[in-house]
A and B are shown apart, each in its own frame.
Chain A
Amino acid sequence: MLYELTDVTKRYEQGRKVVSALDGVTLSIDEGEFLAIQGSTGSGKSTLLQLLGAMDRPTGGSVLFDGRDLGRLREGDLAGLRARSLGFIFQGFNLIPTLSACENVETALVPWGVKGDERRRRALAALEGVGLGDRAVHLPSELSGGEQQRVAIARALVRSPRVILADEPTGNLDEKTRDEIIGLIHERYLGNSQGALSSAMQKVFEAVDRSPLGGVAAPQGAGVGDGGHGV
């Protein structure tokens, strides 16, 4: 089992108030599974993704990744885990505004210690893969929203991570671009070379129109995941 979450709670203190974002979540995700998390605003989707992404620690319960309890790892080990195994796609793209498209993709290879030319070569290849080979030197401000998200996808994919965590990846995009991005994730990461979505995935992604959507895909060795667990 890749992920094992047992009775996970997460609370935030806001002044004197305590807000419970997650309460008793128990969940397992296997290698190769595709998981979509659906829920209303404030239901804890992003919080759960952050716990799965080793970016935060649970208040209670345990989050095991490959048998390791993420709540007990040191910050440096968590950073190493994120660099080795996880890829993130954010709703707001989160590109570094001062760096070009290519340099933004390179930032994902910096923690690996990939040097100069090799880093650039791999970043350019990732950009080619999302159809932005000719926009490599452009700054984020010179790209459209869809192009920026493509750069973010290239950044997430350039390390071929075991898990992709996408937090409302199409939330800021128009319908046409959204379909392009979904197709791109499907094609480039979930392994369908035809560029067509399975019916289950199509159903899940269509939900984007109705409510925010978070997704976890862990396809390594298992091909396309075909289902989702609603939370």
Chain B
Amino acid sequence: MFFTYIWRELRRRHRQALLTALGLAVGVGLVVAVTAYAGGVSAAQDEVLESLYGVGTDISVTETAQIEQGGRGLFRMQPSSQEQQGEAFSEDRLVGSPGKQAMAADTVTQIAGLDGVSGVAGALALNVMRVEGEYAQAYSQGGQRAQPGELPEPSASQAPLEVSSFSLTGIDPSAANVGPLASSQVVSGRALAENDVEAKVALVDAAYAEQEDIGLGDAITVNETKFEVVGTISSANGASSSDVYIPLLWAQQLSENEDKVNQIYVRAASADQIPAAKSAIQTALPDATVTTSDDLAEQVSGSLKSASDLADRLGTWLAAAALVAAFAVASLLSVSSVSRRVREFGTLKALGWRSRRIVAQVLGESVVQGIIGGILGVGLGIVGAQLIVRFSPALEATVGATGLGPAPSGGGTGPGRALAEAASNTVSIAMTAPVSAQLALLAVGLAIAGGLLAGAIGGWRASRLRPADALRRLD
């Protein structure tokens, strides 16, 4: 009787039932489309942040360098002996990434012991300034070659010098799952392994390797120390945070930064512990700049940022407003239906039907409309999401120049450099709007909730009818 009655009633007023279901469908469809859109935007943001930051890295710790530190690199182009005059030379100078203060390596251990931290890796981000050329052919004031023992003076005959630079990061091979390479993929060769801690091996960014024509097995010389290239790597968006990676130990030795790091990558025990871990690190290291992926996300600008804002603000409000409107319409139609059936419900009450049975009947009718509305709404939402994907332009993400710490003006490593690179190489991302089974279920659930709400209001009204009042209205 319960289902027969529902079916017959809905069939009798099929236009109104369809209108109610369509109202719910539009509201739910908007929720599905906006949620799918927001999910797509969020996925795009994650893609950008992962490439900038590293999968598995939740927090980055740096210390801002004092203004007077760093200094200018001095190169000696004078031959140390007369025999060297005119001979080729190559001299490297390793400096820390601009703006980054070296920190004691045991800071890594200190952070590892903090609550909410599950993984830590220290890195030393350096910039290698290289000057190559030939020693000057020094002559005396009188135009004669300088005599042995005399320092040659710079002269107009100095051969042209070639100045180049590349970024070099010393990484901890034993902590590969957190750090600058966590999000990178090996293009050729292999990654650094735990037993590479003291090995003279290097990884090269695939783009840099192509540009400099560096292949597997080639040697990269840094301060007269040769490192064998064992792999080339690439990050998700093609922008690695450094050109060359070597074991941390060697980076420390070559840059005379023994037991020092200038970039610490931290992974939190879980996503919801990131704020607590950040707070603990800030307390332990008051001078450090502690940056989370959320902080980094705030630096993202461009159409991706606009899309994100649109999804967060307008989209959410639009969906909520549509949902509320749909619920209100469904409720009004339910009340209207009950009002038209006063005689019916009064008769049933006169026959001994209890109020709760009548409420259940009205609720049942509304829930069926909710289910139909939910299914239609999921369909509408999927179509809407596909239309968004089809007609929305490719999103672009640009990371602001005021990235992590001081803005690097050239070179540098780590997120700061990646930010700077991203600023010049805006990342383009194809928009997606995935509709998951969970989202579909949520949508149907929302529509049923809307139906229940409408039915509850209508049922409440029906339950308040006293049979005599209901029947008297006929008189």
Q: Is the CB of B4 within 8 A of A99?
A: yes
Q: Is the CB of B355 within 8 A of A111?
A: no
Q: Is the CB of A111 within 8 A of B12?
A: no
Contacts of B357 in A (CB 8 A): 110-111
Contacts of A98 in B (CB 8 A): 5, 8-9, 11-12
Known: A46-B475, A98-B11. Contact between A106 and B352, CB under 8 A? Answer: no
B156 CB to nearest A CB, Å: 107
Contacts of A46 in B (CB 8 A): 472, 475
Residue from B8, B11, B351 within 8 A of A111 (CB atoms): B351
Known: A97-B12, A98-B11, A106-B1. Contact between A88 and B351, CB under 8 A? Answer: yes
Q: Does A192 contact B (CB under 8 A)?
A: no
Residue from A53, A75, A76, A95 within 8 A of B350 (CB atoms): A53
Q: Is the CB of B475 within 8 A of A84?
A: no
Q: Is the CB of A103 within 8 A of B347?
A: no
Q: Does A80 contact B (CB under 8 A)?
A: yes
Residue from B344, B350, B467 within 8 A of A96 (CB atoms): B344
The CA of A111 and the CA of B12, in the complex, are separated in Å by: 24
The CA of A118 and the CA of B469, in the complex, are separated in Å by: 33
Q: Is the CB of B468 within 8 A of A88?
A: no
Q: Is the CB of A55 within 8 A of B354?
A: no
Q: Which of A83, A95, A110 has most chain B Cβ within 10 Å?
A: A110
A55 CB to nearest B CB, Å: 4
Residue from B344, B353, B466, B472 within 8 A of A110 (CB atoms): B353
Q: Does A90 contact B (CB under 8 A)?
A: yes
Q: Does B348 contact A (CB under 8 A)?
A: yes
Q: Is the CB of B4 within 8 A of A88?
A: no
Q: Is the CB of B471 within 8 A of A76?
A: no
Contacts of B12 in A (CB 8 A): 97-98
Contacts of A69 in B (CB 8 A): none
The CA of A96 and the CA of B349, in the complex, are separated in Å by: 12
Q: Does A160 contact B (CB under 8 A)?
A: no
A103 CB to nearest B CB, Å: 7
CB contact list, A186-210 vs B, under 8 A: none
A88 CB to nearest B CB, Å: 5
Q: Does A50 contact B (CB under 8 A)?
A: yes
| Residues of B in contact with A, size category | 20 to 34
- Annotate B342-373 by CB proximity to A: 1 below 8 A, 0 otherwise: 01101111111111010000000000000000
The CA of A119 and the CA of B1, in the complex, are separated in Å by: 10
Q: Is the CB of B471 within 8 A of A50?
A: yes
B467 CB to nearest A CB, Å: 4
The CA of A82 and the CA of B351, in the complex, are separated in Å by: 6
Contacts of B74 in A (CB 8 A): none
Q: Does A92 contact B (CB under 8 A)?
A: yes
B281 CB to nearest A CB, Å: 64
Q: Is the CB of A107 within 8 A of B348?
A: yes
The CA of A103 and the CA of B475, in the complex, are separated in Å by: 26
Q: Does B67 contact A (CB under 8 A)?
A: no
Contacts of A75 in B (CB 8 A): 355
CB contact list, A73-129 vs B, under 8 A: 75-76, 79-84, 86, 88, 90, 92, 94-99, 103, 106-108, 110-111, 119
Q: Does A56 contact B (CB under 8 A)?
A: yes
The CA of A119 and the CA of B353, in the complex, are separated in Å by: 15
A223 CB to nearest B CB, Å: 26
Q: Which residue of A lies closest to B356 (CB)?
A: A76
Residue from A50, A103, A108 within 8 A of B4 (CB atoms): A103
- Annotate A16-29 by CB proximity to B: 1 below 8 A, 0 otherwise: 00000000000000
Q: Is the CB of B352 within 8 A of A83?
A: yes
Contacts of A119 in B (CB 8 A): 1
Q: Which residue of B lies closest to A98 (CB)?
A: B8
Q: Is the CB of A107 within 8 A of B1?
A: yes
Q: Is the CB of B351 within 8 A of A83?
A: yes
Q: Which of B5, B350, B475 has most chain A Cβ within 10 Å?
A: B350
Q: Does A178 contact B (CB under 8 A)?
A: no
The CA of A99 and the CA of B348, in the complex, are separated in Å by: 13
The CA of A108 and the CA of B351, in the complex, are separated in Å by: 6
Q: Which residue of B lies closest to A120 (CB)?
A: B1
Contacts of B468 in A (CB 8 A): 50, 55-56
Q: Does B437 contact A (CB under 8 A)?
A: no
The CA of A167 and the CA of B349, in the complex, are separated in Å by: 16
A79 CB to nearest B CB, Å: 5
Known: A98-B8, A98-B12. Contact between A111 and B354, CB under 8 A? Answer: yes
The CA of A94 and the CA of B467, in the complex, are separated in Å by: 12
Q: Does A155 contact B (CB under 8 A)?
A: yes
The CA of A75 and the CA of B388, in the complex, are separated in Å by: 55
Contacts of B466 in A (CB 8 A): 55-56
Q: Is the CB of A92 within 8 A of B474?
A: yes
A61 CB to nearest B CB, Å: 16
Q: Which residue of B lies closest to A155 (CB)?
A: B351
The CA of A92 and the CA of B351, in the complex, are separated in Å by: 15
CB contact list, B1-19 vs A, under 8 A: 1, 4-5, 8-9, 11-12
Q: Is the CB of B471 within 8 A of A96?
A: no
Q: Which residue of A lies closest to B355 (CB)?
A: A75
A68 CB to nearest B CB, Å: 16
The CA of A97 and the CA of B8, in the complex, are separated in Å by: 9
17 sampled A-B residue pairs with Cβ under 8 A: A53-B350, A55-B468, A76-B355, A79-B354, A81-B352, A82-B349, A82-B352, A83-B352, A83-B353, A92-B474, A96-B5, A97-B344, A99-B4, A103-B1, A103-B5, A110-B1, A155-B351
Given pairs A86-B352, A96-B5, 11 additional interface contacts (CB within 8 A): A46-B475, A50-B472, A55-B349, A56-B468, A79-B353, A84-B352, A96-B344, A96-B348, A98-B5, A108-B351, A111-B351
